[in-house]
Amino acid sequence: MSNIQDKVVIITGASSGIGEETAKELSSKGAKLVLAARREERLKEIADNLNNNNGEAVYKSTDVTSAKEMEELAKFAHEKFGQIDAIVNNAGLMPLSYLNKQKIEEWDKMIDVNIKGVLYGISAVLPYMRERKQGHIINLSSVAGHVVFPGSAVYSGTKFAVRAITDGLRMEESQESNIRATIISPGAVSTELTSTITDDDVKSGVDDLYQMAIKPDSIARTVRFALEEPAEVAVNEIVVRPTNQTM
């Protein structure tokens, strides 16, 4: 029996890409899933498909930039299943641009989703996990959270922040509450992320890079690996790139 069997896992950004594939992967191992994103129709479709294949999934339309909605999501998960074993803070945006383009609205959105969304997810589940003195928080960073390149200044800033926040969480909660914290940093992955890039000077280079993009199910298997380890083992950080990606 998989160590994931019957674990209650919240997944944000679950309506496509890495989130959707993670839902499929964890469902196949017996997890009870709470799917969250803004696109309710897509969530319903994914949950229905999982449930029709002997899975157990519910969903709730959620905006991760709202602390209130994230608290409501955690409450919903707890009311449905009686516990919260893990959260995968996967929702993210990547509208890369050069700073001189002054795309301030895009910067704000990245900060709201990529940083605040992760913080709100952590805050929402911590009380439930601390009460049980167990739990697992998995946050999606990026290779751009390890290295900065032209056009990635703000995006990299948000992903460096995710790594810092997650490591701080690990140090604060691992001994006191036995809560595990994992950072997963994908490289180029075939998802909808690049569709948010509006700076044409950056987009052409990114499109070239993403010709080697790996499928999101590779990241889903990475999430599964971290979750499957026994409670006394914490997989703290993993970087997953296409073999040919140098940065």
113 and 162 Cβ atoms separated by less than 8 Å: no
- Segment 176-189 shows an average pLDDT of 97
- The catalytic residues are 155
Q: What pLDDT is stored for residue 1 in this prediction?
A: 65
The pLDDT tens digits of the residues spanning 111-164 come to 999 999 999 999 999 999 999 999 999 999 999 999 999 999 999 999 999 999
Residues 6+ positions from 186 with CB-CB distance below 8 Å: 18, 140, 142, 143, 219, 240, 241
Tell me the three state secondary structure of residue 129: helix
Residue 232: the pLDDT is: 95
Helix or strand holding residue 142 (H, E): none
pTM value surpassing 0.85 = yes
Q: What percent of the chain has pLDDT over 70?
A: 100
Provide the CATH number for the domain formed by 8-239 in this structure: 3.40.50.720
* 8 A C-beta contact, residue 157 and residue 170: no
Residue 204 has pLDDT above 90, yes or no: no
Predicted pLDDT at 192: 86
Average the pLDDT over 77-99 and give the result: 98
